[in-house]
Structure 1
Amino acid sequence: MAAYILGQINITDVETFKRYSEKVSLTVQQYGGRYLVRGGAVDKLEGTFLGRRMVVIEFQSVEAA
Structure 2
Amino acid sequence: MPEGKAEWKLLVAGRVVQELPRHIVMRGALNHLAHHRGQMTVYLRLLGATVPAIYGPSADDKNFG
TM-score after normalising by structure 2: 0.33
**Which structure carries more relative contact order (alpha carbon 8 Å, separation 6+)?**
1
TM-score after normalising by structure 1: 0.33
More helix by share: 2
More strand by share: 1
